[in-house]
A and B are shown apart, each in its own frame.
Chain A
């Protein structure tokens, strides 16, 4: 059966474009133009993924996320606009899974949908060994290698890497990373996070200022790249 996507946006042109793009990839697309209609549609039709515009005319998108999260774990991908980083962070911390900034390419949206669907499907069945290009993370043995060469990580570095890598492809806010790795009491200490991210990059990346694995999402958090380019790939590195 085709996967069902609910597209919530008050602009018909956006809904039309997304519907056409997703339909071509085999999704079944439903539409809603208000927050209330979206809440009804989610309760009634139980879609597999929700694409939600933050700037709805009736309910604030963040409020929609909160209400949905009270009873559903359906993946929610936020549509946002330039300059709305604070809203993005708020929506993500309220339970949204990811975001795309308007205007976006269909490829980007599809990638986000796939990642969100995969993470919602394999919550239970975690692979013991993760592979990303030449990076290998052995979770039970807490062993990390890059190009067959072992990398020594401190326990906190390893926990941080695990948190990022098990959510590969998905954006993680500063607050999420801090509270999951250091505990809820540390949610404000972003400078810890910056220091550890730098250490991880220095140990894993060939060029730490042109990271292949741990990408900065400015103003929001970090994203672990699912399919990192090989270190010598010239197409992605200037």
Chain B
């Protein structure tokens, strides 16, 4: 059953219920009157038992179609009509013959029996129908809630459902957030009083006592709580005063989650018990869905915490290795030079000083990469794009990585002509330095490194090929994860930061970076940078983000 159909039915049921009940009684009178009028001309020809049977058929037929009240009325009126008009002496209640008396009482007995039986059957049917409706509505709700993942989406779905099904003016869910009730989902436009302290107070009462409360409705069960003298103090904001408001607790066994607030204009029928029961079932469904969301969120938070713990320890191990090694070397060299009782040869002294200089550079490089990684992780990159000749950047990066590369011969293969590419010079130079450094770190002294630049249809591809220790199969992607290190024979060499930074920068340029295992030894790291207008968009979106 669709919500809108159900909604229409629910509305018409509550709207016309009283009028229809009244009409049924009128119909009862009319039906018996009509029967009497039809039978009257045949009074002389018909025997009393036959007339009783015809009345019985009419009453039975009526009780099949109507509720027990009108049916009983029909039975009683039929009894009197039968007695007054068809049983001699006519137009008196007295009965002359014992036959007639028997017919009269058989009729009464049968009529009562029939109306009772059909009435009971009807009540069962209606109950079954109502259960069916509720089940359909709840099924609908839970089906809608299964698809929702986030808490806010779930709350919105519940509120929307309740609002539609019950034909409300306004509906809201207030969630308990550290002791304060706050509206998290609102449907309809009339719940002006949602921040009303009295409403919130009542909401807290509803939540802590796990009971339904109502404003406006006069039924005793739904009356606002508190001793009678205090009741006058429930002065509500204007938006709530002229409507009926129902507050239902949203709770599970384990915890009290919040309050469902439903409001309906006074022009519409008041909330009856059936509605408040059904709405309570909705609230229970909502409670389950909300709890599920909260549990999922808690689980995600726990996972995030655990992952950040793992990250922290990986970072610590990387930092302790990559900071301590150059620091130790600097400290050792400097303290050596400070020993005044040793006379250093010029050669030795220069070597110590060079060590200090180079290790300081290494430290600087490491700290710069660490900062870059932090900016990448925080999404705080603001590349300053400009058009450059990539070959100039390649030469620059090659120069600046000369120390780390040592005596590993480097061959460059650059195209004769190359259109300018829009990049952040510093970031792309850093990418190349990191990739070259990675190649040098994982290959033995003297083994060759090759850098190739190729112009493709709409991108530039750079490749750095080494003949080093290579990669286990399946790790081609993982080497770009932060803190990933290839387990070399004796110890991990790098910090697992350089390639992660390279990937972050390349992706910020709209490019790709990946590794391939060479047929012989070592790996080739390839990266692409898009040509042309694509970067303009990235640039403007970045600068907008910066603003």
Contacts and interface: CB of A to CB of B under 8 A. Distances in A.
A and B: partners? yes
Interface of A: 82-83, 85-86, 103, 105, 190-191, 194, 198, 208-211, 216, 218-219, 236, 238
Interface in B120-140: none
Interface of B: 357, 360, 364, 367-368, 371-372, 375, 384, 386-389, 391-392, 394-396, 398-399, 402, 410, 412, 414, 420, 424-426, 429
A85 B387 contact: no
Greatest chain A CB density within 10 A among B396, B398, B402 is at B396
B425 A216 contact: yes
A122 to B, nearest CB: 31
A210 B386 contact: no
A103 B426 contact: no
A190 B402 contact: no
A168 B391 CA distance: 24
Given A209-B414, A210-B392, A238-B410, A82 B386 contact: no
B314 to A, nearest CB: 23
Nearest to B387: A194
Contact of B384 (A85, A103, A209, A216): A85
25 contacts: A82-B364, A82-B367, A82-B368, A82-B371, A83-B368, A83-B375, A103-B360, A105-B357, A191-B387, A194-B420, A209-B392, A209-B394, A209-B395, A209-B414, A210-B395, A218-B425, A218-B426, A218-B429, A219-B424, A219-B425, A219-B426, A236-B399, A238-B398, A238-B402, A238-B410
Contacts of A85: 384, 426
Contacts of B367: 82
Nearest 10 interchain pairs by C-beta:
A218-B425, A209-B391, A209-B392, A218-B426, A210-B395, A82-B368, A238-B398, A103-B364, A219-B384, A194-B387
A194 B419 CA distance: 13
Given A85-B426, A238-B410, A216 B392 contact: yes
Contacts of A238: 395, 398-399, 402, 410, 412
B368 A209 contact: no
Given A198-B389, A209-B395, A219-B426, A83 B364 contact: no
Contacts of B399: 236, 238
A210 B395 CA distance: 7
Contacts of B392: 209-211, 216
A228 to B, nearest CB: 15
B37 to A, nearest CB: 101
Contacts of A219: 384, 386, 424-426
A190 B399 CA distance: 26
A194 B425 CA distance: 13
A77 to B, nearest CB: 19
Nearest to B395: A210
Contacts of B412: 238
B368 to A, nearest CB: 5
A103 B544 CA distance: 31
Given A209-B414, A218-B426, 19 more contacts: A82-B367, A82-B368, A83-B368, A83-B371, A83-B372, A83-B426, A85-B384, A103-B360, A194-B388, A194-B420, A198-B389, A209-B391, A209-B394, A209-B395, A210-B392, A210-B395, A218-B425, A219-B386, A238-B412
A4 to B, nearest CB: 28
A155 B389 CA distance: 24
Nearest to A198: B389
B386 A190 contact: yes
A236 B399 CA distance: 8
B504 to A, nearest CB: 14
Contacts of B429: 218
Nearest to A191: B387
Contacts of A86: 384
Contacts of B424: 219
B510 to A, nearest CB: 19
A147 B368 CA distance: 41
Given A103-B360, A219-B425, A238-B402, A209 B389 contact: yes
A219 B423 CA distance: 10
Task: Specify which of B372, B412, B426 lies most central, judged by the most chain A CB atoms within 10 Å of its CB.
Answer: B426
A105 B353 CA distance: 13
A210 B396 CA distance: 8
Contacts of A103: 360, 364
B153 to A, nearest CB: 39
Contacts of B410: 238
Nearest to B375: A83
Nearest to B401: A238
A13 B141 CA distance: 68
Contacts of A105: 357
A216 B395 contact: no
A209 B395 CA distance: 7
Contacts of A190: 386
Contacts of B387: 191, 194
